[in-house]
Structure 1
Amino acid sequence: MSQELEYSANLTGASFLLYEFKQVVSLKEQGLEDSDIKVRVLTENLFQYQVKASLKRSLPTVLRRVKVLDDTLRKMVLEESLDTCKIINLYAIMKTDRLFFEFMNEVIREKLETDNYMFEKKDLNVFIASKAEQDAGVASWMEQTVNKLKQVFVKVLYESGLLKDKKTGELSRLLMDEQLEQHLIQIGDIAYLRAMGEV
């Protein structure tokens, strides 16, 4: 459960990374170990990045996300619709990033449960400010880091399909595949479904 994780600002260098996520899941499904995946991604530039530094920054994050998926979820990433793939990636981000999970659980879930489809900048500002009051680590982050993190949170919401329009802040519900929903309930991850506004 993500509660055991420390708060981190890792997402500032990672974002949604759906294409990269699919690439790594595919290599994992071929039976490759993390060390082999690293070599393949770097030598063949599988993420198609111009800059090697970006690759070295995003790869550990993607590997961490893929590691929290079981066999069923990995297969779904490769075989099901793009929407399902996005939702599994969103789930993996929540499983590996405590701050983002709490944001989803405390801000987005509450909005969707009350049929409030307006997401405003202040929602994010209030959330981060309250975490800074509760946690010295978050409080010590530079303003630049916090601003970047906020941008990434919005980007993840948008790319996952939860945020329909960045300008208006209109939220929309995810189109959750029944099979995926049942699987997450079965493996005891209902908290993540709830955080996405499901169940």
Structure 2
Amino acid sequence: MSNELEYSATLTGASFLLYELKQVLKLKKQGLSEVEIKRKVIEDNVFEYQVTSSLKRSVPSVLRRANALDDLLQEWVLNSPLEVGKIINLYAIMKTDKLFFEFMNEVIREKLDANNYLLEKKDLNVFFAIKAEQNEKMEKWTELTVNKLKQVYMKLLYEAGLLVDKKSGDLNRLLFDEDIKRHLTSIDDTAYLKAMGE
């Protein structure tokens, strides 16, 4: 599980980034080291960003996600249909961000388990308020940071396909490929499957 991770606000500078993850995985497959990947992404603007400062901000997150995936999952991101890549990317985000995993596990999973398909603003507010009470580091975060994270969480859910509409807050169940379910179960990562509502 993601116990060794600390709460962080790095997601404010890194959203879904599935396209970027695919580019990094292609470079990994070519045998490039992390340092070489970083250099190539920035020098060649592999992500095709208009502003290079955004590149420098997102590369570490994308590398962390790429490193959280085993060879089979990396292969699936590169060669499976888009929906499969989205689910694996969501899994990688949870594997590398403790707070987001807890949000998925404590808010999204509970809603889907109860067949409640509505994510309200108050659900996010309550989650962040409780976490701030439990964690000194989070308690020091500015309101701006917390609000940005709330926006990013909504965007992540939307891009993953869990959120139908950001305004209405309507949730949707993901359709899981049997191979993904089997594989995540075999590597003892069923907690992440459950957090995604499976």
Query: What TM bracket, shorter-length normalisation?
Result: over 0.9
Pair 1:194 & 2:194 matched: yes
Give identity over the alignment, percent.
66
- For residues 182 and 17 of structure 1, the distance between their equivalents in structure 2, rounded to whole angstroms, comes to 25
Task: Tell me by how many angstroms 1:115 deviates.
Answer: 0.5
- For residues 192 and 32 of structure 2, the distance between their equivalents in structure 1, rounded to whole angstroms, comes to 28
TM-score normalised to the size of structure 2? 0.99
Q: Which residue of 1 aligns with 2:30?
A: 30
- Amino acid of the residue matched to residue 172 of structure 1? N
Q: Which residue of 2 aligns with 1:73?
A: 73
RMSD: 0.7
Task: Tell me by how many angstroms 1:175 deviates.
Answer: 1.2
Q: Deviations over 1:151-198 (max 9, x none)?
A: 000000000000011111100011111101110000010000000001
Task: Tell me by how many angstroms 1:123 deviates.
Answer: 0.3
Q: Secondary structure at the match of 2:164?
A: strand
Q: Secondary structure at the match of 1:2?
A: coil
Pair 1:63 & 2:82 matched: no
- For residues 83 and 120 of structure 1, the distance between their equivalents in structure 2, rounded to whole angstroms, comes to 25
Q: How many residues align?
A: 198
Task: Tell me by how many angstroms 1:39 deviates.
Answer: 1.5
Q: Secondary structure at the match of 2:3?
A: helix
Report if the CA contact (8 A) 1:47-1:55 is conserved: yes
Report if the CA contact (8 A) 1:11-1:152 is conserved: yes
Query: 1:39-54 residue pairs with structure 2 within 5 A?
Result: 39-54=39-54
Query: 1:122-141 residue pairs with structure 2 within 5 A?
Result: 122-141=122-141
Task: Tell me by how many angstroms 1:132 deviates.
Answer: 0.4
Report if the CA contact (8 A) 1:163-1:172 is conserved: yes
Q: Which residue of 2 aligns with 1:156?
A: 156
Report if the CA contact (8 A) 1:77-1:84 is conserved: yes
- For residues 192 and 57 of structure 2, the distance between their equivalents in structure 1, rounded to whole angstroms, comes to 26
Q: Deviations over 1:117-151 (max 9, x none)?
A: 00001000000000000001111000000000000
TM-score normalised to the size of structure 1? 0.98
Report if the CA contact (8 A) 1:132-1:138 is conserved: yes
Structure 1 consecutive aligned stretches of length 4 or more whose deviation exceeds 4 Å = none
Q: Deviations over 1:24-61 (max 9, x none)?
A: 11111222111111121112101111111100000000
Which segments of 5 or more consecutive residues in structure 2 lack a partner in the other structure? none
Pair 1:173 & 2:165 matched: no
- For residues 178 and 165 of structure 1, the distance between their equivalents in structure 2, rounded to whole angstroms, comes to 26
Q: Which residue of 2 aligns with 1:88?
A: 88
Q: Which residue of 1 aligns with 2:3?
A: 3
- Amino acid of the residue matched to residue 31 of structure 2? G
- For residues 151 and 8 of structure 1, the distance between their equivalents in structure 2, rounded to whole angstroms, comes to 15
Q: Secondary structure at the match of 1:164?
A: strand
Which segments of 5 or more consecutive residues in structure 1 lack a partner in the other structure? none
- Amino acid of the residue matched to residue 146 of structure 2? V
- Amino acid of the residue matched to residue 10 of structure 1? T
Q: Which residue of 2 aligns with 1:183?
A: 183
- For residues 37 and 181 of structure 1, the distance between their equivalents in structure 2, rounded to whole angstroms, comes to 30
- For residues 129 and 146 of structure 1, the distance between their equivalents in structure 2, rounded to whole angstroms, comes to 10
- For residues 160 and 31 of structure 1, the distance between their equivalents in structure 2, rounded to whole angstroms, comes to 29
